[in-house]
Every structure is written in structure tokens, then in C-alpha cells.
Chains A and B, each alone.
Chain A
Amino acid sequence: MIVQSIEASRCPRCRRMVVPGARYCPDHPVAMEPASVPGVGEIVSFTTLHSPPEGFKAPLHIALIELEGGARLFCHGQETRGIRIGSSVGVESLDGVFYFSHMSFADRARLFWRRAGARGEKVASITKSLAKGLFRGRFRGDS
């Protein structure tokens, strides 16, 4: 189940969001404010570690995800098959550890309507989604 909201912090000075929450902004010596981000985003990059450190089983799939709202987050994954840089993924939480997962059709639909509804920009959202689909299709297999 995709996490609806992940605890984050926002810098009152530069608006930077970080996950998990932090006391001070990395670029400004000021206290950050509590915020939250949705558990959906895009793969920035990923790797499979074949000799993981103690306490982890090989192969260990690790990905860096850029969440909607700007913060980046490290996640584990069950596999990296079908995953590419730029893939849309959901974030799930298991015992406090974040996992990335392919989004099911139902997840995508829910997300789509939530976004479109919330912003009241159904047309723009549909256009964007279609354009993105075409773009992905064209450059499939380049990573």
C-alpha cells in the first residue's frame, strides 16, 4: 500500500524539502518547519549491490527517488526489473523502512484523479500524462 504522506521538513528560507525530517536546513542555519510529501515519485537512479554490508542480504536493490514535492528519498526494492531512470514509482513502508514499487493500474488511477481533482486542472493533467507517455515510449530502452 502506497504511503499517503511521508513526514518531511521544509526550510522557511529557501523552501527546500528534506526527508526524513531534519532540524536544520543543510544550506541555511535555521530551524526547519514540519511538512509532508506524498509517497509517489520518480526514480533518479538505482543500483543492485552484490556484496552488501553486514545485516543486508544480496542482491540488495537500492534506489534514489525524487518525491512529488521535491524531496529525495532512498528506498529498497524487491527487484529492479522494468525499472528505469524516470520511472514513476510508489513508496511503501514496512517496519519503518521505505520500499519502492511499480504502481499498479489502480494506484495510478487513484493518483491521477486525486491530483487532477485537487488542482482542478483535469485537462492540463490529462495532456501532461499523455505527453509523458509518448515521450517515454519514444525513448524506451535508452537507460
Chain B
Amino acid sequence: MTRFGRRDESLPDLIAEAGLAALRDAGVERPDALVVAAMNPEEFTGAGNYGSLINTYLGLAQVPAVRVETATSSGVAAVWAGFADIAAGLHRTVLVVGGEKMTHVPTPRVSEIIGRSIDPHERTYGTTMPALAGLITRAAMHSRGLTLREMAQVAVKNHANGARNPLAHFREPVTLDAVMESRLVADPLRLYHCCPISDGAAALVLTADPAPIRIAGIGQGTDTLAVRYRTELTSFRATQAAARAAYAMAGFGPERVELAELHDAFSPFELISLEDAGLMPPGKAGRATLDGETALDGRLPVNTSGGLKARGHPLAATGIAQIVELCLQLRGLAEGRQVSARVALAHSIGGLATNNWVTLVEARA
């Protein structure tokens, strides 16, 4: 993957940097197929037909390419498409690459473009991703007893991890006070509860041949586009369904997971997702985070990469970057932030939890 953050290169250049590095690492010059994830390059960069744009740019114009999109979880959707392609026996080696280029666009316009993944009627009320996350956070504080301190600790932990990741957008630690005193964005959410706008790309090579890491399970879960259609606001049905599907495919449960990358676009989402994915009992994630259980040296390290909060969130790159981090950890290549694990989980949220994914990866013995 590329360094995330403010980048001057074009989106095709970022995708090429990540894609070619992944091919080199895998010792593959020419994959049998290409899956490209980009959430909205039409609006952010003015270009479309991204499967063809990328295969041609990478010098792989004769390699079949598709583009996959499920809003902010597009990266994992591309991994799933590549996995299914190989599992169906259509191809043996697939390059999966995703990226987004956003920092050159003014912030209100970025919010508006991302906001198009929200239900059109709800958008007429000015609901943005932070607005809906603010509503969910307040409801979670009310019904689940989530506290501001617990949410702030997620950001503190993820910044501390990001400081150890040379590819992270933010490499400075933050204090609990700084998070809790940062400016209000969507009451009760504050600026430091929210992930940044980042550029970047990430890539994986999937193969039918033996490899150091195997995808043990990959599951998708969905929920209504309209938040007003949901009866449950403080947990995500889409995550719960995705986790069930992934565990069923893997043939094991959350008890074997030793490491996780979770979609902390907003800090409280990490706590909600820990419980939705079955990694913590209901109502325990906040306390466990304050107690350091999810820190680098904790029982279950979460977001060792820095998460969306500190590694950054170039939309379609994120889901792939999460799995890249898990692969580095499982292969013992996460220098400066290495933990000990054999089984790891990645969780990605698309839209306002309308199209979520859970992936389980395992190091081969």
C-alpha cells in the first residue's frame, strides 16, 4: 500500500504504486485478472471506466478488469470479488487494488460527495455521515451507557498506533484531553472522534496457489439504506450478518481471533463493531478499551495500523489496507508495532452501515 495522507500524485499513480508493489512482493508480473475498487473517481477526479483506466495505466491492458463499488467498503467488496473469481475456478491469480484521491477537493464538497451514499430523502434534511454518526452515538450513550471517555480512548489508542506506522496519515499521538476538547462536529461527536480525508491506495494479490496467508472466511451483511427504516440504531445489523457469514465459512468463531482491524470512521463505531463482530460481550467494549485490552500490548490488539482515525481513510483503499495490515502482522513484518497472532479479523463499513464486510485471515502453519 502507499503512504496515506495528502498526496500530490494522481489516483492512477497511487493505484499503480500500490498495485505494482503488491505484484512485486508476490513475485507475479502478470495477474490473470484485475479487480479495481474506487468509490467515486467520477466526482473526485473526473474520470470513469476505472477498470479499463487502471489496467491500461498499469500495462495490463489485456488483463480482464472489473470495478467494484459498495460505498466506503468498496475495497473489501473487491477482495470478495477476487476471492469468488478464484474460488469459482475462473482465474488463478487476481490483483485487487483500491484507492481514492480526495484531498485536492474542498472539504464541504468532499462531505457532499460522500454524503451521496446516504438515503436521498434523509439527505434533504442535511444529514451527512457525521450527522448520522452523531445521532447513533447519542443513542448509544443513552441506551448502552457508552461514555465520552471510552470513545475518546479509541482515538488516543489509534493515534498511538498510527505513530508507529510509517504509512499512516497521522503520526502524532494525541491526549485524552485533546480529543475531549476538540471542536464539536455533530454533537456529541468531536473532531478527533472522526477520521480524516486522505489520499492513498492499497493492493493485495490473491492466488489459488499456496501462500503464507489464507482467507479463512469472508462475509457480507446489509441493512436498509434509510436509517429511519431501522428499528435498531446502536448496533449494526449489517456487521452482525457479515460476521455470522464469515465465521460460518471459516468454521470457527470469534474466540480464535487474536487481532482486528475495525472500521473506526467515528471512534464509537470501533466499540459498537467490537460487540457486533462478537469480539466483546455486549456493553463491555468501552470498559475493555479504557483498560487497555485493545491496545498494542493488550489481549486483543485493535487497529494496530492506526485505524481509519490515524492511518487515514481513502475510501476504497481502506478495506484493502486493513487486510494488508493483518497480512503484515501475521507474516511478522509489522516493524515497530508487531504483535503475536495467527488469526485476525477485518471489518469494513459501507455507507452508514448499509453494506458491511467481515474477513477472517489465518497464517498458514
Contacts and interface: CB of A to CB of B under 8 A. Distances in A.
A100 B94 CA distance: 52
A18 interface: yes
A45 B112 contact: no
Contacts of A53: 108, 111-112, 115, 126, 128
A45 to B, nearest CB: 4
Interface stretch (B85-93, B133-141, B238-246): B133-141
Contact of A47 (B124, B138, B142, B228): B138
A60 interface: yes
Contact of A74 (B143, B189, B228, B233): B228
A54 B122 contact: no
A46 interface: yes
B126 A56 contact: yes
Nearest to B224: A26
B125 A75 contact: yes
How many residues of A sit at the interface, in one of the four size bands? 20 to 34
Interface string A13-55: 0000011100000100000000000000000111111111111
Given A49-B126, A52-B126, A53-B126, A62 B131 contact: yes
B186 A64 contact: no
Contact of A51 (B115, B142, B185): B185
Interface string A104-143: 0000000000000000000000000000000000000011
A45 B138 contact: yes
A48 B233 contact: no
Residue with the greatest number of chain A CB neighbours at <10 A, chosen from B115, B124, B131 = B131
B135 A47 contact: yes
A57 B121 CA distance: 18
Interface of B: 108, 111-112, 115, 121-122, 124-128, 130-131, 134-136, 138-139, 141-143, 183-189, 224, 226-229, 233
Interface of A: 18-20, 26, 44-56, 60, 62, 64, 71-76, 80, 85, 97, 142-143
Ordered nearest first, which 7 A-B pairs have the shortest CB separation?
A: A47-B134, A72-B228, A45-B139, A56-B126, A48-B187, A45-B135, A74-B125
